[in-house]
């Protein structure tokens, strides 16, 4: 069983419709540590030693967040700038994260078709996440295609429940080491077809 650290970042959780439900589906899973960064660091005063300890004691790091300006909320950037230190995460002797896995799990207001060459956002979400992917690779991590919930404003409660169930299924698959990484490596999003990525559930 692999341990999962969810770095959760939503600056306005009281207004969240989707992340709040994804978080509820994830936080009680055995093997998952749910770490709410905005709750823990409302003043951006990040405890670097604590964050590094958390990273060292988990195998898989999930950054869960809404897509803000084609990127993460600001606290994740601050977290990266402070926590991923030279000589610890990268550079000479910096091997603390080597061999671990990273996943972005994000929600986006725009629909999937907006995120392509001819769409209004011109790039795929995966392309826009390139700084995070390359950061993970520089640290020797394995970077998975992002888990993405699109068109958040159009989703009704049952749509959100379905995405929350998918998110839980992905986390269970990662935890249990049964997610087929080769099968999804070029997927535009990890949750495009979970039946390709994960073994069939008992229901089918």
Ligand X SMILES: Cc1cc2nc3c(=O)[nH]c(=O)nc-3n(C[C@H](O)[C@H](O)[C@H](O)COP(=O)(O)O)c2cc1C
Q: How far is the CB of 104 from ligand X (least distance, A)?
A: 12
Tokens 């030279």 map to which residue?
A: 86
Q: Which helix (H) or strand (E) holds 194?
A: helix 194-197
User: Cα dist. 4→31, 76, 169, 177 in Å?
Assistant: 6, 17, 13, 11
With the C-alpha atoms ordered 90, 92, 93, 98, is the resulting torsion angle positive or negative? Answer: positive
Q: How far is the CB of 9 from ligand X (least distance, A)?
A: 11
Q: How far is the CB of 137 from ligand X (least distance, A)?
A: 23
Q: How far is the CB of 150 from ligand X (least distance, A)?
A: 8
**8 interacts with ligand X by CB under 6 A:** no
Q: Give the contact letters, 96-115, x = binds to ligand X (CB under 6 A), - = no.
A: -----------xxxx-----
Site residues (CB under 6 A) for ligand X, limited to 139-198 = 152
Q: Which of 8, 38, 67, 88 binds ligand X (CB under 6 A)?
A: 67
**119 interacts with ligand X by CB under 6 A:** no
Residue 52 or 107: which CB sits closer to ligand X?
Answer: 107
CA 66 distance to own-chain centroid:
10
Q: Which helix (H) or strand (E) holds 168?
A: helix 157-175
Q: How far is the CB of 155 from ligand X (least distance, A)?
A: 9
User: Cα dist. 200→6, 179, 197 in Å?
Assistant: 25, 11, 9
CA 27 distance to own-chain centroid:
14
**120 interacts with ligand X by CB under 6 A:** no
Binding site for ligand X (CB under 6 A): 10, 16-19, 66-70, 107-110, 152
């Amino acid at each position: 069983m692999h341990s999962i650290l969810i770095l959760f970042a939503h600056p306005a959780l009281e207004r969240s419709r989707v992340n709040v439900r994804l978080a509820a589906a994830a936080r009680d899973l055995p093997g998952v540590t749910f770490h709410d960064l905005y709750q823990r660091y409302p003043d951006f005063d990040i405890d670097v030693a604590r964050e590094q300890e958390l990273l060292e004691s988990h195998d898989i790091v999930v950054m869960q967040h809404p897509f803000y300006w084609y990127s993460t909320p600001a606290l994740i950037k601050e977290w990266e700038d402070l926590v991923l230190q030279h000589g610890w995460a990268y550079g000479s002797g910096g091997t603390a994260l080597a061999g671990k896995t990273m996943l972005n799990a994000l929600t986006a207001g725009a629909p999937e078709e907006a995120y392509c060459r001819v769409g209004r956002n011109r790039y795929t979400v995966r392309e826009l996440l390139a700084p995070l992917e390359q950061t993970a690779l520089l640290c020797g991590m394995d970077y998975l295609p992002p888990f993405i919930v699109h068109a958040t404003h159009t989703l009704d409660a049952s749509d959100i429940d379905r995405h929350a169930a998918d998110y839980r299924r992905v986390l269970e698959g990662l935890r249990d080491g049964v997610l087929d990484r080769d099968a999804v490596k070029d997927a535009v999003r990890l949750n495009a077809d979970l039946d390709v990525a994960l073994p069939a559930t008992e229901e089918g």
